[in-house]
Amino acid sequence: MKTQSTRGGLVYSTDSGRMCPSCRQPMPACQCQLRAFKPASDGTVRVSRESKGRAGKGVTVITGVPLNEQALIELGKMLKIACGSGGTVKEGVIEVQGDHVDRVMALLSAQAYKVKRNGG
């Protein structure tokens, strides 16, 4: 299945997944400036625990990390290994399965990030 955007370009293909809007290559093969995405951040990394929309299962959510996409994926991998848990990185947000807020805050503080607990 292929989906066309309103501007006439291919945005998704079942053969290769998401497509870059500027160079029209699959996102893993994209070499343009969109891969160097840095989310808007005030310099504070926020760590919270959420369970809404996850069938009651809690996850630790990390937002506001001032890194590009590839570095964010590497940080997410390191946090998942340190917590002994699974998780994902989506749209500039790292999610680690389980309640690991204190451990994640300690790990990020040790890496010189300004960390703040968000929520309860």
d(CA 115, CA 108): 7
120 has pLDDT over 70: no
Residue 17: pLDDT over 90: no
Report DSSP letters for 34-50, one per residue.
GGG------SEEEEEEE
Q: In the chain, which residues fall in CATH 3.30.780.10?
A: 44-117
| Tens digits of residue pLDDT in 74-96 | 999 999 999 999 999 998 899 99
pLDDT at 42: 76
Architecture of the 44-117 domain = 2-Layer Sandwich (3.30)
pLDDT of residue 25 exceeding 80, the answer is no
Torsion of the alpha carbons at 25, 92, 37 and 70, rounded to the nearest 10 = -70
3-state SS class at 11 = strand
